[in-house]
Amino acid sequence: MKASLWREHVLPFTLLLGLLAAATLTGDYVLHRFNLVWVGRYMGIPGTLLIIGSMYYSLRKRKLVTSGNPKTLLSMHEFSAWLGSLMVLIHAGIHFNAILPWLATVAMGVNVISGMVGKMLLNRSRQHVQGQREHFQLRGLSKPEVEQAVFWDAVALGAMAQWRKVHIPIFVVFAVLALGHIVSIFLFWGWV
């Protein structure tokens, strides 16, 4: 039976993203339930620090620092960016007073999703489509027939391959917007 791209690759991705949403809603609910909304206000700080820490991997990848195993650092990058984003999402809560931090949050969301696409979907999906192609070729289908058979998977793959074009520029947008928000809050708190 033809293994489905959806079940093997897209579903785990959707689950991890769903987990982020569910954990955000649960965290927000718990903080409100126990009158701890102020904790969420400060959760922006560890969340931001985790996201900044996760960028150590980017420095290592570009050889700006030399210590640390790149593979381990990549796993740490993914984990700490995910956890930091969760903290920032709980921090953002469902309060709508200002537009700037929300724009930052949207940019962060696109950032997390594009990172997850790159990590979880792209390589394995590429192998999957290649495997399918070989499978159909071995069964003696002609080239156009093979392409026809993998058409929708190939379209999905093409869209996913764009992730890197999104991941880094949107990170810059995110960083600028987040910095604007953080500086204005620090000014307000009299911390700068």
Residues that bind ligand HEM (CB under 6 A): 41, 44-45, 48, 88, 91-92, 95-98, 101-102, 104-105, 108, 178, 181-182, 185
Three-class secondary structure of residue 81 per DSSP: helix
104 vs 160, which CB is nearer to ligand HEM? 104
Q: How far is the CB of 34 from ligand HEM (least distance, A)?
A: 19
Q: How far is the CB of 121 from ligand HEM (least distance, A)?
A: 24
Task: Give the distance from CA 3 to its chain's centroid.
Answer: 26
How far is residue 128's CA from residue 134's CA, in Å, rounded to a whole number? Answer: 10
| CB count in 10 Å sphere of residue 152 | 10
Q: How far is the CB of 58 from ligand HEM (least distance, A)?
A: 17
12 vs 184, which CB is nearer to ligand HEM? 184
95 vs 139, which CB is nearer to ligand HEM? 95
Q: How far is the CB of 67 from ligand HEM (least distance, A)?
A: 27
Q: How far is the CB of 38 from ligand HEM (least distance, A)?
A: 9
- Contact, 90 vs 31, CB < 8 A? yes
28 vs 78, which CB is nearer to ligand HEM? 28
Phi/psi region, residue 171 (left: phi>0; alpha: psi -120 to 50; beta: rest), is alpha
88 vs 150, which CB is nearer to ligand HEM? 88
How far is residue 131's CA from residue 157's CA, in Å, rounded to a whole number? Answer: 13
Q: Which class for 5: exposed (0-12), middle (13-18), buried (19 or more C-beta within 10 A)?
A: buried
